[in-house]
Structure 1
Amino acid sequence: MSQRHRGGNSAKLNSALKKLTEIAAALSQAANAPPPKSNELDAFGEVFKRVSASKPPYYNGKEDSASLENWIMEFDKLFDAINSPEELKLNNAVYYLKEEADLWWSQRKNDLMTEHNSGWNELKEALRTKFYPTHLRKQKSMEFINLMMGAMSISEYYSKFIELMRFAPEVVPTEALKAQRFEQGLTLSLQGKLGGATFSTLDEVYGRAAHLYGIRGKELEGNSSG
């Protein structure tokens, strides 16, 4: 990498960090708190650099539950991975809002920041309220409730189950209920082979069903070659 290219990247990072520092100070003042001290800005800058180095996604405010939940999930994982202090999460996350979501944040940030204990969790709920409307929640929840394995392979069914389950946490709040719902969506043949066994976790019933599905596939191969 050339010296000029490295210098350009460094300048961009410094410019972004300066902007984020200004945002942090402005939000702090909006919340009637004193401006952040030098050591607080140092900590903020370090977290911002580590977040930036991971190249996290942006969220543009698209009315699509999957886009929003994927963005939230990525930042949840990233904050855990870098061990980000709770009080630094929100100001880092909002830098990765753009277009409609960024416009919404610019209009709502003062109200949100003056609310008691506003932080990353509160931002997530506010985003969901705005960009994940009730009719979409009901739609995704019903899609999960009505999910059946049908002609899918067991792995395809499991992947679809996991994808939709996060949109209906109230339907399966425990591991036992996840396992029960997963079993109910299996083909009648697989349900019969499970023999009415009770499973305590989703992975447990999936593992057993996948094993039986594999055996069934071998039986079909044997019959077709016989």
Structure 2
Amino acid sequence: MGDVGESSSSNPAEQVEDDTLLRDLITLRGVSTRRENVETPIEEGEGSVELVLNRLLQSALRATIATFSQLVPQPIPQPVVQVEETPSQKCLKLISGFSKLMPMMFEGGADLMVVDDYIDQVETHLTFMDVTDDYVKIVLATYKFSKDAKLWWKSFTNQYKVEEMSWEKFKELFYEKYFLVTKRWELRDQFNGLIQGNMSMMEYENKFTSLSRFAPEMVSNEVDKTWKFISGLDYKIRLLITAQYMKVYSKAVERALLLEAEAKDSNAGKEL
């Protein structure tokens, strides 16, 4: 045969592999190949012609793929474009979050505790959501209005520009409508004269907490708040609370509850 040993491959390893495959393809004993002017007898191959051809094709395919993989351009990563939310989308997002935190609706009415609780909860949730814009605060607060409150607010917005209103002005108008000044002073006086009387310790503490919001100047610091709570306790329990409980409200409440429980146990033992 011709000079099959003179391969055009530039890779020595590939050249040796191709020569070996070619030698396997030639099955006649005595035929030789030439490499560097030296004839080498080729032994009879043990594999079939089809197998050797497949191996040759696979070798050529690998070389072709390796060549083309270097020519194919790699994709260039595209920068991520941040899409800015529209004002409407931001508002809907805030309303959705606020509705999850604030499930209760405000219908209006004369229950002063409900009125004050509503505003208190609204402000708590607005702080949690980090809402600082006054107009957005008003939109969220009035979103939960229903029945009488919704009708009142609708008539108000037909006459005034809510966009220019501050949050403090909104609360002022809200309280003027549903929380008359005379009623607030009445609740303040109730707190000022609050005593335990026939109430249990838990009932007294709950009422103390509920009414204290209407007299903030009386509970402006921990010491004043604690003293006001202790001063309204039942006389026997008040005497047993020592000076060490006069400065921390939670400690005073805890001590009062324990003394009440001990008194009940003692009375129960006497009845037996």
Q: Which category describes the TM-score, using the shorter chain as reference length? A: 0.7 to 0.9
Match of 2:98 among 51, 64, 72: 51
Superposed CA offset, 1:94-120 (max 9, x none): 1112233223323334245324xx13x
User: Quick one: distance in 2 between partners of 1:122 and 1:180?
Assistant: 34
Deviation of the 1:185 alpha carbon: 0.5
Residue aligning to 1:107 = 155
Q: Does 1:71 align with 2:121?
A: no
In structure 2, stretches of 5+ residues that fail to align are 1-83
- Pairing 1:222–2:269 present: yes
* TM-score w.r.t. length of structure 2: 0.61
Larger Rg: 2
Contact residue 148 and residue 186 of structure 1 kept, 8 A: yes
- With the length of structure 1 as denominator, give the TM-score of the two structures: 0.72
> Of Structure 1 and Structure 2, which has the larger fraction of its residues in helix?
1
Higher relative contact order (CA 8 A, sep 6+): 1
Q: Match of 1:170, SS?
A: helix
CA distance change for structure 1 residues 168 and 112 in 2, over 3 Å: closer, same or farther? Answer: farther
Q: Deviations over 1:106-147 (max 9, x none)?
A: 3334245324xx13x442232112211111011111111121
**Equivalent position to 1:91, from 115, 139, 145:** 139
Residue 38 of structure 1 and its aligned partner are, at CA, apart by 5.0
Gaps in structure 1 of 5+ consecutive residues: 1-36
| Over 4 Å off, 4+ runs | none
CA positional deviation for 1:48: 0.9
CA contact (8 A) 1:47 1:84 kept: no
Equivalent residues, number: 185
Separation in 1, partners of 2:236, 2:94: 52
**CA shift for structure 1 position 46:** 0.9
| In structure 1, distance between residues paired with 2:180 and 2:161 | 20
Please say if 1:191 is aligned against 2:238: yes
Q: Percent identity?
A: 23
Partner of 2:211: 164
Residues 59 and 97 in structure 1, CA contact (< 8 A), matched pair in contact too: yes
Give the match for residue 30 of structure 2: none
